[in-house]
Amino acid sequence: MDKIIVCLIGSGNWATIMARNVGRNVINSQTMEEKVLMYVYEEYVDGRKLTEIINTTHINVKYMPDFELPPNIVANDDIVTTARDADIIIFAIPPSFVSGCCKTLLGKVKPTAHAVSLIKGFERGEDGQFVLISQIIMRQLKIPCSVLAGCNLAHEISNDHFAEGTVGCRDQKYYRVLHDIFRSPTFRVVVTEDADCVEICSSLRNIIAFGAGLSDGMELNENTKGGIIRRGFLECIQFVDVFYPGCRMGTFFEACGISDLVTSCYANRNRKLAEAFVKTGKPLSELEHILIPGHEPLGPVTAELVHQMLKKKGLEDKFPLFTTVYKICTGEYPLTRLVDCLMKAREDIFHPLHTFQL
């Protein structure tokens, strides 16, 4: 029986950290090929190619200079060579690069390959809705794509602190394989078939984290932040029920749901951006280049796309926190409306389809 070949597309800090887990796990597996190719966008560091540095020192000096990779992780600057023989293709690149990479790989990967997205984000759809990254990969490469999300701050995992993630797997035969390649003694992995919900949670939490940052910027108390988290969690459940019916209620209580949400409201770039937005009075367009260079401000962007989706269905008043965060971002609402929306939110729960399964 041929061994399973795994590759990684991406070499940023999150990709590098997951590469360590994957590299260690395949070495100890009887069913997986030991060598793992990692696609690295070629750069020069102190006059040397980054791929050469990684392959000789086993350190990604550009993104994780204090973090050593296993020797079986091999950097490669050709994305097609990296992926063409792989059975499992792990994507860990910025959302804006996904379509371009998939176009390059179209027709050049195994038709039986299985992709996994570690990417937090989405693309804007032509119809005004956000398009999940896994859907883009599946549509363009014509292969299944699972997802990994959860409460997993990169720097904490790199220091072997406890963290956990949820794999939303679209093919049952990969349940055990994906669990085994990502886990570590300090990284707990749970696998579910509810892939869409896993991925949606990782996007919606950015709106709530931005709301928590607004609260921090106004120096409101922890009870207020707790109220934002509670209300935001409720609206996540409602949103999925409306736009992605059929998801399981239990998924919201996995790492991709409540754990990632709480962590993001205390340690997330969107929280940091919102706090600075309040304290400095500077426009978001200026602050994002200072505080999160190279990253799209997913809190405001997600809030905008979600608002468009809610507006089409006339549901803005059913999602007061999502609506308020969006309108504070645009300047339509003053900051004081944040607490007002918590005080005046209706107590009934809007679930038009009642399709959740436990």
Q: For 182-210, what is the mean pLDDT?
A: 95
Residue 163 has pLDDT above 90, yes or no: yes
Predicted confidence (pLDDT) per residue in 211-263, tens digit = 999 999 999 999 999 999 999 999 999 999 899 888 999 999 999 999 999 99
Percent of the chain with pLDDT over 70: 94
Name which residue leads in pLDDT, 150 or 105.
Answer: 105
pTM given for the model:
0.92
Predicted confidence (pLDDT) per residue in 49-92, tens digit = 999 999 999 999 999 998 999 999 999 999 999 999 999 999 99
Predicted confidence (pLDDT) per residue in 4-33, tens digit = 999 999 999 999 999 999 999 999 999 999
Q: For 284-313, what is the mean pLDDT?
A: 84
Q: Are 352 and 241 in contact (CB under 8 A)?
A: yes
How high is the pLDDT of residue 299? 87
How high is the pLDDT of residue 152? 72
Amino acid at 309: M
- Provide the pLDDT confidence category of residue 358 given band limits of 50, 70 and 90: very low
Q: Which among 265, 341, 17 has a CA at the least distance from the CA of 148?
A: 17
Q: Which among 153, 212, 164, 211 has a CA at the least distance from the CA of 186?
A: 164
**Structure-token pair, residue 173:** 């035969």
- Provide the pLDDT confidence category of residue 130 given band limits of 50, 70 and 90: confident
Q: Are 52 and 78 in contact (CB under 8 A)?
A: no
How high is the pLDDT of residue 354? 53
In this structure, the strands spanning 44-45 and 48-49 are antiparallel
Task: Please report, for the chain, how many H helices and E strands are present, in that order.
Answer: 15, 14
Sheet of 88-91, strands arranged across = 73-76, 36-39, 6-9, 88-91, 114-117, 145-149, 163-168, 187-192
- Provide the pLDDT confidence category of residue 117 given band limits of 50, 70 and 90: very high
Predicted confidence (pLDDT) per residue in 271-289, tens digit = 999 999 999 999 888 888 7
What lies within 8 Å, CB to CB, of 64 at 6+ separation is 13, 16, 17, 158
Rounded to whole angstroms, the Cα distance separating 343 from 226 reads 13
How high is the pLDDT of residue 156? 86
